Amino acid sequence: MSSSSSSALQQQVTLLELVDRVLNKGVVLTGDITLSVADVDLVYVGLRLLLTSVSTLEQPHGDEK
């Protein structure tokens, strides 16, 4: 892999990992208003559409224990 494509991959994976963390990880609180999984998934899909070139490094949403 060339260094430029490697660095582009790094950037894309970093954004993907950021979105995974913000939406799927962290302390889960039961709030008065909690966004539905469907609402969050829409954003998730929107952000991931920007990241098609990392499809080979994708991990299915919500697949973790």
Partner 1 sequence: MTLHVYALTERPATLPAITGIEASELETVEVGELDAIVSPVAGEEANEAAVLAHAGVVDGVFARNAAVLPVRFGTGFSDAASLSAAIGGRVDKLQRALELVRGNVEIGLRVGLGTHPETPRTGSGRDYLTGRLARVRAAERAAGEIHGPLAGAAHADTVTVLPTPELLLSAAYLVARDEVDAFRKRIAELDGRHPELTFVCTGPWPPYSFATVDTGP
Using CB under 8 A as the criterion, which residues of the chain lie in contact with partner 1 when the complex forms? 1, 9-10, 13-14, 17-19, 21-35, 39-40, 42-43, 46-47, 56-60, 63-65
Residue 25: name the closest of 10, 42, 12, 40 by CA.
Answer: 40
Smallest distance, Å, CB 52 to partner 1?
Answer: 14
Smallest distance, Å, CB 4 to partner 1?
Answer: 15
Residue 58: name the closest of 7, 14, 13, 21 by CA.
Answer: 13
Smallest distance, Å, CB 42 to partner 1?
Answer: 6
Residue 61: name the closest of 24, 30, 13 by CA.
Answer: 24
